[in-house]
Amino acid sequence: MAQMKDALTLLASGKDEEAFSIVQKAYGINNLDQDGLYQRLIIVDKKFGTSLKYDLNDSVVNRNTLALKKTLQTIAFLLMIEKFNFIQENYDNGQYSSDTLIETFWAGRNYFSLLLEPELSKYDPRKQTKIDRLLNSMLYSIEDSEWEKFQRTKVELIKQIDKYFDPVIPEFIYNKK
């Protein structure tokens, strides 16, 4: 996550080549045996039906700044949703404590806070505040075991993030229960 944050920060300050270099080195572009995010993307692509592994590679190889930024934002979004889906899938089976679910929530929220929120707070602070409130509501839903509210709020969160960042969101994410 740190390299993704660094790359997005560099892209925002016009240091594109440095951003490409970080992504290429950190994620083993053109090296499918590399551990880390690139290997993680194989799992995410399979789970969500995306092609982020290839999108990331193509954006670096073609030196496409906009594609790299969008791909990193979409990766952050899907990794966040993956954490929130885990909470939904496990909230009432008793296998995980509420503390574990809350820790998982914070891991998911960190993807937003560290990788998406900086741009949003700079260019659309009102939207950032709205999304922050939705995330707080999701946390309170976990603490209060209000799982239907968690689901509804998650769907609204997805819609709000989609409106601003326009990530590539597979349609089934909206209906994931």
| Confidence band for 175, pLDDT divided at 50, 70 and 90 | low
The tokens of 139 are what? Answer: 């946390």
More confident residue, 28 or 60: 60
Q: Are 156 and 64 in contact (CB under 8 A)?
A: no
**pLDDT at residue number 32:** 47
Interval 68-119: pLDDT, tens: 999 999 999 999 999 999 998 888 777 888 899 999 999 999 999 999 999 8
Q: What is the pLDDT of residue 33?
A: 46
pLDDT-based confidence at residue 173 (cuts at 50, 70, 90): low
